[in-house]
Amino acid sequence: MRYGFYPGCTLHSTATEFGSSMEMTCAALGIELVEIPDWNCCGASSAHSLNHTLALALPTRDLVQAQQLGLTDIAIPCVACYARMVTADYTLRNDAAFRAEMETALGFTYEGRVRPRHLLDILANDFTSEELVGKVTRPLQGLRVVSYYGCLLVRPPELTGRWDDPEQPQTMDRLVELLGAEAVPWSYKVDCCGASLTLNRSDVVVHLVDRLVQAAHEAGANAIVNACPMCMANVDGRQRFRGSPGRPGPTYVPMPVFYITELLALAFGRPLDKVLGKHAIDPRPLLKGLDLI
């Protein structure tokens, strides 16, 4: 199966584990990703904070190039990019004046064939459960995982098209069960991690991450799974600052955080040791203890 592909700025840098494990997962499932050739940054939180037109125009240029690829479905692994792409796509479809302005500025004719989709939606919904289970060579027995969806993966529902519920999403829970892990229920699936405040108000992010990780511990999980480079940077990267002021408190117990593609690649028997070594909290002791690596 061929998909267009928009990596976004983080996939080969701060979210390199997401990129590598995505490639392994796609190879195992026979997915071919065709990268949008000269893609630009989607503008993320910054463009829509300061400049309305720019926030829509930047992802539109990427959608134009995706249209030229001739492929309909575009796989997007970063949730922040995904949110900007579906926003631009929705506006192009429904706002004739904006569409005309973009067609003039970027010299193209909007055809409406391109469909930006999050990678998780593709992995979970374009394959049957049997197809996915059929690839599992290393069932993830002993992993008790809470699925963390964060904010923009399933919101706002009118833009995502409701491929999962905005308040009680299930997609990752279903996937981890298929892989042989236990999907642990909890109440923080869609609570925001603080996202872009991580650099300028890290105190806020540490506070939000602390709540999430505490809830994951209380639910009885031994790991968190997510599908977003920003969530990962915060929940994995800021966890060691738990407990104030700025240092781990006496009750600090690190909770490993995985990308969903890492769990898929692991269960599909792919070599993941090097990738997992790049996490802020090394998940390998947990996996070794469970005899999974």
Partner 1 sequence: MQPDLTFSEQVRDQSGQNVQRCYYCQRCSAGCPVASLMDYAPAQLLRMIQLGQKEAVLHSSAIWLCVGCETCGTRCPNGIRTGVVIDSLRQMATAEGVAPAVPSVFKLHRAFLDSIRLWGRVHELSMLAQYKLTSLALFSDLDLGLDMFLKGKIHPLPRRIRGVAEVRKLFALK
Whether 11 and 78 have beta carbons less than 8 Å apart is answered as: yes
Measured from the CB atom, the residue of 28 and 114 that comes closer to partner 1 is 114
Tokens (6 digits) for 54: 């720019």
Radius of gyration of the chain measured on its C-alpha atoms:
19
Q: Which is nearer to partner 1, 247 or 288 (CB)?
A: 247
3-state percent breakdown (helix, strand, coil) of the chain, nearest 5? 50, 10, 40
Q: Which is nearer to partner 1, 209 or 267 (CB)?
A: 209
Residue type, 159: L
Quote the strand ranges of the chain, DSSP E.
2-5, 32-35, 73-76, 115-118, 144-147, 182-183, 223-226, 257-259
Select 38 or 291, whichever has its Cβ closest to partner 1.
38
> Residue 207 Cβ, how far from partner 1 at the closest point, in Å?
9
CB of 245 to partner 1, least distance (A): 14
| Nearest-approach distance from CB 127 to partner 1, in angstroms | 28
Nearer to partner 1, 58 or 225 (CB): 58
Nearest to partner 1 of 140, 208 (CB atom): 208
Q: Smallest gap, in angstroms, from Cβ of residue 178 to partner 1? A: 27
Contact footprint for partner 1 (CB under 8 A): 9, 13-16, 38-41, 43-55, 57-58, 61, 101, 105-106, 150-152, 155-157, 166-167, 190-192, 194-197, 199-202, 204, 208, 237, 277-278, 280
Q: Is 237 left (phi over 0), alpha (psi -120 to 50) or beta?
A: alpha
283: three-class secondary structure by DSSP: coil
Q: How far is the CB of 174 from partner 1 (least distance, A)?
A: 21
**Distance of alpha carbon 174 from alpha carbon 231, whole angstroms:** 20
Cis (ω within 30 of 0) for the bond into 169? no
CB of 9 to partner 1, least distance (A): 4
